Structure 1
Amino acid sequence: MPRILNKLFQSHLCLLVFLITGLFSKAALRAETFHESFDDTSQVSWQVRIDPNQARKKWHVRNTSVMHAGAACEHLQVTTGNLGSLIELSHPLPSSRIINELTLSLWLKSNRRGTRVGLEAVLPHQIDPETGAVARIYLIGDTYTEEGKWQQMKCTTTEALVNQSLGLLRGRTKLRQLDTREMYVERVLIVTRSSSDQVEFLLDDLKLTPIVRPNDSVIQTAVAMSKQNSQPIVEFLLDRIQLQGRPLFPRMSLYHGESLEALKQAGMNVIEAPQFDDYRFLTELRSQGLWAMATPPRPQAQDGSFLPSRDATLIPFDEQTAPIVFWYLGTQIPGSEWNQIRSRVGQIQSADQQFKRPIMADVLGKERQIAREVSMIGSSPRILNSDINLLEYRNTLIEKTRLAPGRFLWTWIQTEPTFANARWRDSFHKTPIVIEPEQIRLQVYATLSAGCRAVGYWTTDRLDDTSAPGALERKLVIEQLNREIDLIEPWLATGSVISHVPFTLIQKQAPLITQLGADFKTSGSKRLMRDEQLAEREMLLQQKKEAATEMQASIIHSEYGTLILPVWYRDGAQFVPDQMAGNEAKIVIPGGNVSASVWELSSTRIKNLDRKRVNGGVEISLPKFDMTSIIIMTSDQGLIEKLRNKIREISPQAAETSLKLSRAKLERCEKTNAELLEMGVSKVARMDGPAILERARERLSQAEVSLTSQDFHEAHTAARDCRQLLRILQRIQWREATRTLSSSMTSPYTISYSTLPDHWRMIEQIGRSAKHINPNLLRSGDFEDIDTMVVEDWKHVQNPIEGTQAIAELYPRDRRSGEFSLRLLAAPLSRNDIPQNIEGPLVRVTTPPLAVRSGQIVHVTGWVKVSTAITGNPLGATFQDSIMGPGGALHWNAQSDWQRIDLLREVSQSENFHLTMSLNGLGAILFDDLRVMAYTPEPQQYQQTEGLEALPLKSLGSSGVELLNKVPE
């Protein structure tokens, strides 16, 4: 009996052991291990969190040569501008409840001692009052000590470590009680501060064990609380923007009461709100799928002055401001306001703890310093209708990116004349200057090629008001450009400009004129033909020579592939665009992947391009080129299919927009040509104009037929050819008006096509003033007598910045005539410390006031020489008059010999006229023999022609120009 009982007990004991073992086994099965070996080289998984104002990611790959174990490891390199910059890497983990034995391990190799590993944990039932989101704690583990060697880093969620982190959270939030139920970890962190220009990380063999997953309801509660209490809308990742988790290339517009639907149709995605707290407007924006930028409030004292951050703060922004994605501080803010910007940024950040929105500012100077304070630094040169060409414009923006490396650069696109040009046109009651749609296009592509991360379209009136001349063209070309930007937004939002390479194409050949033919064509008509052919040959040869530097392609690398943007930066296009088109464009991409496919994109077609391996890279062939183009190189055929589907969707609207744009431009050019023809001043308008316009009409008709038959790409191409023909007409009529002028800036009416009739009217007036030319009004402009200059009240201002000296002097060693010239000189005090970014004029000289009368035409002549190239400021040296101001200023940078100055200005009202010479950078410039003469036109005589008044032809044409040439130097 005892034996039976013993066996029975043993059997029950075995059963009990089995049951207990089974229970523990099930518990063990519920505990998981997460292991990431980073062997998949097709993607990377670590994220970088870093202040874009202090550092940027240089590369991020899976490395197959220096791994700790397995086939690969993850390799990052971060470039920093400031020592001590905080760098944080993070990697998602499976959600795991915090238990004593939960351990993370990771193998790390770095060039930075002191790097720490840690875990980010979530308190799913606790809200952080500072952020409005679910509270988080950070559990810090091992410190990296073996520089340049693999070291295993660990972090274990011990009770002591968790309590220490909870104590820090209590101290920061001032909360006495924390709800710590069901805490779980969800992310691993690597945190360090830079100690050199480049910090490298190699990461491998990531493990987390034992994982006990929280209930799904706990995670859902945390997510719901975060959504309810925090709305992270826009996020900065280095110099990139993500909006709701997607890369964003902002296309911004000011608001002047337009229909929001029209702004949406024009392709905008961010609109400036009139007031930050206009909640109805913000709600309407979101209903159209648009976002807002807004100017934040500023605390003010009783006297209206603004209070600094040390004396006043802002009320925290509430939930209703959520549609605002950027805070906008203003346009063309002087660099001298750097300290005010810094104070204001502190106030905004303190009041915007919940959303932490980026702050943007468009500035003039001190970009490097201001970029440390704001997230998005803007630079917006206004170069249209000036003597600064589009290539110089692009290079200026590139220089701005170098002043603030790794920063987010954006710009306003000029879509209308500058305030100075608009002001003097308005003073004469003349119609505004029309900015050509091609000029807007070239600006946009120049900014993209320079690496700008956002563009805004600067307007002072409604974009949807198309009643003014050129307004419809402006609206249509912006719509066209935004469609193109939308196609390549991922490249533009995430890529980096690697280089700029020249390209070539086949242009129209210069006419062949033999010496024999030129010598023996002696009849009047034959001499005229010979002279025209010689002039055309000279122009085309010069154009071919200049094209070597004017045609450049920007190479942009991105995780999506390579983006190539060829652009023809034609000199003079800032006044009147040229044809800028040709066949068989050849672009060599250095180090290009010959196995990747190459595609040309437009808003109506995606086309595969030929490529071949050549010395130095891969050569791409583009059959036809017109001003700008979009080319991508990629091996991702899925991406190509997505682009093809997107183009198929937008091509009907794109073709219609192109056709409307051509029709509007044709109508405007027809009116200008008819006006010039009626005036009898333009041989081009009489001889070439009708034929060119007829061909343009034919191409427009072809576009209309193709659109009707739904051949959208052919409609787009025919409309584009129509605009190309119109550009040819515009350019040759502009050259006709400027061929006898020393500069396109000589006449205030040769700075655009739309003002050419005004130019010929002014020339006619000069032709009627041969008997009434006032003697030189500026007697001391020869700079021979300093006493006379003092008596006549010349003004001289020196404003050298720290580390420089600046002078204005009468200089005997180099002059155009006489004994002296006027020299403006600015130089660094030390060759080892040369300022790179100079603001404002360092030295300025102003002539005495000269009395002029309403109706007169002032003619300024003189000579200038840049003896030492001017650096440190893109404006170089300037020469401007008081009538047109900065809008009519002449600029010089490059070293040159003596060259002629000529300016013509109409006087709208009796006033004092003066000239100002400024040196804005380091270098030296000489002026000599300045003269100011005033023409007083005689009353105009009219003759009747079939009931219409017409100007006498004898008073027009070249007579006025010849008179200018006869004016004594």
Structure 2
Amino acid sequence: MFRTLISSVFGRFPKGNPVIGVLLFVFAANVAFCQQPNPVVIDSMDEKTPSRLSLVDFEDGELKWSAESEVLRSVVIDSRHTDLGPHSGTGCEQRIFESNRILLDQRLEMRLVPSYVFDELKTSVWVRTDCQNVRFMLQIRFPNQIDPRTKEILSIDLPGTVYSKSGQWQQLVCSTSDEEVRNRIIRARGQLAGLLSGGTIDTREAYVDQIALVFDVPVGGSVLQIDTLRHGPIVTPENLIETPEAADIYQPRLTVTDDRVMKDDRPFFPVFTLYHGESLKEVESTGVNMLWIEDYADRAILEALDQMGIGAIAQPPQPTTEDAILHRQGIPTFESWTEPIWAWMFGFAIPEDDVRYLQGWSNQVRGADRKFRRPILADVVGQERSFHRQVDFLGSSRFAIHSDLPVADHVEILKRSRNAALPGKPMFTFVQTEALSTYAGKNREPDASPIVEPEQILHQGYAALAAGYKGIGFWKQIPLDQQTVGLDERIHAIRLFALHCRILEPWLATGRVVDDLIVRTNDSFPQQTASLLSPLKTRWDQPIDAAGGKPLGSDSEIRASVFRCDDGFLILPVWYEKDEQFVPGAQAVKGIRMLLRADVMQAWEVTPTGITQSNLELSRVPGGTEIHLKEFDQQTAIVVTSKPAAIEEIRRACRTYRTDAAQSTVAMAAQKFERVSNVHAELVEIAPPIADAELVLKYAYQNLENARKALAAGHDADAYAAARRTLRNLRVLQRRYWESAVQELPVATASLDATGFQTLPQHWQTMRELEDRTSTTQNLLSSGDFDNQADVQQDWLEDSSGNGLQLVELNYDAASQRTFLRMQSANQGGNFFALTGPGIPVAAGDLVVVSARIRYAPTQQDIGNELVIYDTTVGLHGATHLRKASEDWQQVEFMRKIDEDREFRIRLELRGSGVADIDDLKVRRLE
């Protein structure tokens, strides 16, 4: 339209004087498109403000844009600030070109106020031109990455809007959204394939400092006008590298980028734990490849770990809140002796309110660590995306062992946390290896302390892998060498997991979850096949449950995650058994099947002791390939590849680690056999009898003897298989004892000693004690009937973590002619609205029973919506969670045995969005 109008008014450009022709062109554009000046607003230009908007209105007469190439400069016949037809204000910047040939992909550039790359950063500029193929670009610089082609700091262009309104003002926009940046980095990695060390780009501290207009100059005269540039919000980079030299760039031992972790330019899967003063040889025996130490300045430990090839994780110096947020004082530069530290750890379960503090802290650490540029780790609670912008390797952990959180829900929470973080950046999680201190309590005999079963440790690790986590930390507070029943088993569980991860390291480190498969057992597998009426019908067709609106069979306890890896597919089937967080059952079956949506010629099962095809059968079916595992026990790994070199690499790793894996499995089975036998002997005296208990123990012992013989003969795979059969026998017996203990309880957490096998003797002792205490006190919670509003207001304290609608009131129920407490909340994202009751004095040895009538209605069925009731002596880990809607009143009860003199309080938490009615809340002491 721009050219059409010019041609219609003035005809073609005068051939004799191109300058006059172009000036007439601009004048006509001004007549046709002149607008009223718009107000110019600058949000903030304070250089000390961490987040601000930069606005350039091109009113000062200074030329901001420059031509990159000599070719473009040679055809520019006029560069000026002009008042002819600006988009806003009184002027704009203008270039006039005259060329006798088409010039492709010419470039004008302009420097910007530098800003870190993050999701909300946006840059826009107004353009009017008759040049062709005009594109707007942002230049992203990676100060920690050398471009192998130029030996300088790598920079890439991020494309924005393409100009499409020839002759009219159009706003061109480019934003550094997470998705756009990630996709651009993937393309850049492909362009540099074979040149990059390790095949990855180090994206840490990436920033924007320049924009560009790329366009084609047509034959003859043409004009380009630029006006009103906005850029922000700006987060100023701490370290700008103006003239980098490749020799100055130290290659860090560990890098985190592009949804993977690399060590020495090879894919790396971190498996780590915490140091509590035990022998480093004991730590080495677990197979971990990193260790979180308390003091980063402990040179003796750093040197020892370096000699072992174990990387140190340490917390850097921590500034005060004022120093971190206000940048008052920096951290001194880290010296060369800190090189054995591979990564920095900011902490565990960092609350969501600390985002701003952590941002300042991370900036200070990066400033002090300019040479080594080590990645920063942090385990957080909420605000994952905000935290992830500040750290390289984000952690999200929640412990479910001995709680009423189902393992299937636990893994969904892990997936939600991963999805809430930045896409394309890896995450880690901690695995619980010991009972929490609030659950373990005090004054227990060592043999009576609760433990986390080794199978529970392994299950948490594999569930986290299946959820897509790229690092596993084993959380502990008790040293590895402390002599406590059951804790030696955790060493072998950690070791088994670590060895399996080493074998699968290239697959785990490079894989991305692309699918979740429904897994069916042979017994539950439908037999329908194609027919004349339905020639394409297969037994994998998914009939829909009309009531639930989901495919039948999708509630299977066995699920399989599919990873797309550099060398093929990795499939991780995992058994998510109901109530496994209390006591795992057999979790073994003859035959499972799954449908992989791909054509597969060969697949291999990979265990810690070998790689085999003997347990696998593949069948081509409509829609993909059916994979049949003839035997399945808890979890396994399947690799699918067409690369012989990848299989040979796995074979070499298996040969290296199979003897260690077999030895650990046999030792773990022997230790567990002794422990279960001892608890069994106690339960025989106090608990109801379990049918065939002695026979199950006999089978377990026979399998253990077979495992020992196979190990002595050097048959590692056979020893591993026999030891696993021993563990399976023991799980069967443990589960039967547990089911007998909880069958009369409303929920397992009603008696904390019933939430694990090791403490079942104490549970039955408490049950006998209950029989001796025949009377109860009156309700020790005087306001628990919720009849008196003044008492409720005086006794109960409100608090919350959200800002949605929150309401608490007393309502009247006409049917029962009683008043009840109503809590209502419209919080989002798992935020809570809570009431905490008054303190009730209790003494050591007291048996306290809590009961209430509750009616709960979540806004929708969701993991984040629930009503939680618990006592403050045990805490949230021993809470009762109500997640399903109930129109009728339901009874909630639990019992606590008090271990020391203290105050006992009840806490009600309404999480997410919903309505909860509470009545007849009683706290009574058994006399």
C-alpha distance after superposition, 1:373-412 (max 9, x if no partner): 1111111101110000111111101001111133321111
**Of 593, 598, 601, which aligns to 2:599?**
593
Residue 820 of structure 1 aligns to a residue whose secondary structure is: strand
CA RMSD in angstroms comes to 3.6
Match of 1:713 in 2: 717
Correspondence 1:360-439 to 2 at 5 A:
360-404=377-421, 405-422=423-440, 424-426=441-443, 431-439=448-456
**Of 634, 641, 659, which aligns to 2:648?**
641
**Of 564, 571, 575, which aligns to 1:564?**
571
Match of 1:926 in 2: 917
How many positions carry a matched residue from both structures?
709
Tell me the distance in 1 between the aligned counterparts of 2:735 and 2:144: 64
**Of 243, 246, 249, which aligns to 2:266?**
246
Asked if 1 retains the 8 angstrom alpha-carbon contact of 2:519 and 2:592, the reply is yes
Residue 317 of structure 1 aligns to a residue whose secondary structure is: coil
The letter of the residue matching 1:820 is T
Asked if 2 retains the 8 angstrom alpha-carbon contact of 1:654 and 1:716, the reply is yes
Match of 1:230 in 2: 250
Correspondence 1:12-23 to 2 at 5 A:
none
**Of 746, 760, 767, which aligns to 2:764?**
760
Asked if 1 retains the 8 angstrom alpha-carbon contact of 2:808 and 2:821, the reply is yes
Match of 1:675 in 2: 682
C-alpha distance after superposition, 1:359-380 (max 9, x if no partner): 1111112112111111111111
Pairwise CA distance, 1:550: 1.8
**Of 495, 499, 503, which aligns to 1:487?**
503
C-alpha distance after superposition, 1:534-563 (max 9, x if no partner): xxxxxxxxxxx9993321111111111111
Correspondence 1:878-889 to 2 at 5 A:
878-889=868-879
Asked if 2 retains the 8 angstrom alpha-carbon contact of 1:860 and 1:902, the reply is yes
Pairwise CA distance, 1:237: 2.4
Tell me the distance in 2 between the aligned counterparts of 1:239 and 1:872: 28
Tell me the distance in 2 between the aligned counterparts of 1:430 and 1:283: 37
C-alpha distance after superposition, 1:64-112 (max 9, x if no partner): xxxxxxxxxxxxxxxx9826599xxxxxxxxxxxxxxxxxxxxxx9996
Tell me the distance in 2 between the aligned counterparts of 1:474 and 1:356: 34
Go from structure 1 to structure 2 and tell me whether the alpha carbon gap of 1:620 and 1:778 turns closer, same or farther (over 3 Å shift). same
Match of 1:217 in 2: none
Pairwise CA distance, 1:258: 2.6
Is 1:352 the counterpart of 2:369 in the alignment? yes
Match of 2:894 in 1: 903
Asked if 2 retains the 8 angstrom alpha-carbon contact of 1:294 and 1:326, the reply is yes
Residue 921 of structure 2 aligns to a residue whose secondary structure is: strand
Match of 2:25 in 1: none
**Of 444, 455, 462, which aligns to 2:472?**
455
Pairwise CA distance, 1:420: 1.4
Asked if 1 retains the 8 angstrom alpha-carbon contact of 2:741 and 2:754, the reply is yes
Match of 1:794 in 2: 795
Is 1:550 the counterpart of 2:557 in the alignment? yes
Match of 1:730 in 2: 734
Asked if 1 retains the 8 angstrom alpha-carbon contact of 2:519 and 2:556, the reply is no
Tell me the distance in 2 between the aligned counterparts of 1:712 and 1:427: 39
Tell me the distance in 2 between the aligned counterparts of 1:925 and 1:626: 41
Tell me the distance in 2 between the aligned counterparts of 1:468 and 1:725: 23
Go from structure 1 to structure 2 and tell me whether the alpha carbon gap of 1:711 and 1:882 turns closer, same or farther (over 3 Å shift). same
Match of 1:824 in 2: 823
Go from structure 1 to structure 2 and tell me whether the alpha carbon gap of 1:251 and 1:259 turns closer, same or farther (over 3 Å shift). same
Runs of at least 4 residues of structure 1 off by over 6 A?
A: 109-112, 115-118, 128-131, 138-146, 200-207, 225-229, 427-430, 870-873
Residue 753 of structure 2 aligns to a residue whose secondary structure is: coil
Pairwise CA distance, 1:309: 5.1
Go from structure 1 to structure 2 and tell me whether the alpha carbon gap of 1:257 and 1:896 turns closer, same or farther (over 3 Å shift). same
Tell me the distance in 2 between the aligned counterparts of 1:694 and 1:361: 47
Tell me the distance in 2 between the aligned counterparts of 1:411 and 1:585: 29
Pairwise CA distance, 1:331: 0.7
Go from structure 1 to structure 2 and tell me whether the alpha carbon gap of 1:857 and 1:144 turns closer, same or farther (over 3 Å shift). closer
Match of 1:808 in 2: 808
Asked if 2 retains the 8 angstrom alpha-carbon contact of 1:605 and 1:713, the reply is yes
Asked if 2 retains the 8 angstrom alpha-carbon contact of 1:862 and 1:930, the reply is yes
Correspondence 1:125-204 to 2 at 5 A:
137=152, 194=176, 197-198=179-180
The TM-score normalised by the length of structure 1 is 0.68
861-870 vs 703-712, greater mean Cα deviation = 861-870
Asked if 2 retains the 8 angstrom alpha-carbon contact of 1:593 and 1:618, the reply is yes
Pairwise CA distance, 1:134: 15
Asked if 2 retains the 8 angstrom alpha-carbon contact of 1:241 and 1:248, the reply is yes
Residue 683 of structure 1 aligns to a residue whose secondary structure is: coil
Tell me the distance in 2 between the aligned counterparts of 1:663 and 1:688: 21
Go from structure 1 to structure 2 and tell me whether the alpha carbon gap of 1:452 and 1:908 turns closer, same or farther (over 3 Å shift). same
Asked if 2 retains the 8 angstrom alpha-carbon contact of 1:295 and 1:327, the reply is yes
Match of 2:286 in 1: 266
Residue 387 of structure 1 aligns to a residue whose secondary structure is: coil
- Structure 2: where are the runs of 5+ without partners? 1-116, 124-131, 165-173, 193-244, 526-551
Go from structure 1 to structure 2 and tell me whether the alpha carbon gap of 1:426 and 1:919 turns closer, same or farther (over 3 Å shift). farther
Residue 272 of structure 1 aligns to a residue whose secondary structure is: strand
Match of 2:97 in 1: none
Match of 1:777 in 2: 780
Tell me the distance in 1 between the aligned counterparts of 2:759 and 2:189: 67
Go from structure 1 to structure 2 and tell me whether the alpha carbon gap of 1:878 and 1:306 turns closer, same or farther (over 3 Å shift). farther
Pairwise CA distance, 1:290: 1.0
Pairwise CA distance, 1:904: 1.0
Go from structure 1 to structure 2 and tell me whether the alpha carbon gap of 1:346 and 1:666 turns closer, same or farther (over 3 Å shift). same
Asked if 1 retains the 8 angstrom alpha-carbon contact of 2:867 and 2:908, the reply is yes
**Of 690, 697, 702, which aligns to 1:693?**
697
The TM-score normalised by the length of structure 2 is 0.71
Tell me the distance in 1 between the aligned counterparts of 2:514 and 2:732: 34
C-alpha distance after superposition, 1:234-261 (max 9, x if no partner): 2232221111111111111111123323
Go from structure 1 to structure 2 and tell me whether the alpha carbon gap of 1:238 and 1:112 turns closer, same or farther (over 3 Å shift). farther
Go from structure 1 to structure 2 and tell me whether the alpha carbon gap of 1:407 and 1:462 turns closer, same or farther (over 3 Å shift). same
Pairwise CA distance, 1:883: 2.6
Residue 588 of structure 1 aligns to a residue whose secondary structure is: strand
Match of 1:473 in 2: 489
Tell me the distance in 2 between the aligned counterparts of 1:827 and 1:498: 33
Match of 2:306 in 1: 286
Asked if 1 retains the 8 angstrom alpha-carbon contact of 2:865 and 2:913, the reply is no
C-alpha distance after superposition, 1:257-307 (max 9, x if no partner): 233233223111111233222222211111001111111013459xxx865
Percent identity (aligned): 28
Asked if 2 retains the 8 angstrom alpha-carbon contact of 1:394 and 1:450, the reply is yes
Pairwise CA distance, 1:651: 1.7
Go from structure 1 to structure 2 and tell me whether the alpha carbon gap of 1:883 and 1:136 turns closer, same or farther (over 3 Å shift). same
Asked if 2 retains the 8 angstrom alpha-carbon contact of 1:784 and 1:818, the reply is no
Tell me the distance in 1 between the aligned counterparts of 2:752 and 2:758: 12
**Of 437, 441, 445, which aligns to 2:458?**
441
Asked if 1 retains the 8 angstrom alpha-carbon contact of 2:272 and 2:473, the reply is yes
**Of 498, 502, 517, which aligns to 2:514?**
498
Is 1:739 the counterpart of 2:729 in the alignment? no
Match of 2:855 in 1: 865
The letter of the residue matching 2:748 is S
Go from structure 1 to structure 2 and tell me whether the alpha carbon gap of 1:206 and 1:385 turns closer, same or farther (over 3 Å shift). closer
Tell me the distance in 1 between the aligned counterparts of 2:460 and 2:641: 27
Asked if 2 retains the 8 angstrom alpha-carbon contact of 1:420 and 1:886, the reply is no
C-alpha distance after superposition, 1:493-534 (max 9, x if no partner): 11111121220124699xxxxxxxxxxxxxxxxxxxxxxxxx
- Structure 1: where are the runs of 5+ without partners? 1-79, 87-108, 121-127, 150-191, 208-224, 510-544, 829-834, 937-969
Residue 933 of structure 1 aligns to a residue whose secondary structure is: strand
Pairwise CA distance, 1:145: 11
Go from structure 1 to structure 2 and tell me whether the alpha carbon gap of 1:873 and 1:340 turns closer, same or farther (over 3 Å shift). farther
Go from structure 1 to structure 2 and tell me whether the alpha carbon gap of 1:407 and 1:863 turns closer, same or farther (over 3 Å shift). farther
Match of 2:225 in 1: none
Residue 549 of structure 1 aligns to a residue whose secondary structure is: coil
**Of 650, 662, 683, which aligns to 1:655?**
662
Tell me the distance in 2 between the aligned counterparts of 1:110 and 1:916: 64
Residue 805 of structure 2 aligns to a residue whose secondary structure is: strand
Asked if 2 retains the 8 angstrom alpha-carbon contact of 1:110 and 1:202, the reply is no
Tell me the distance in 2 between the aligned counterparts of 1:475 and 1:455: 15
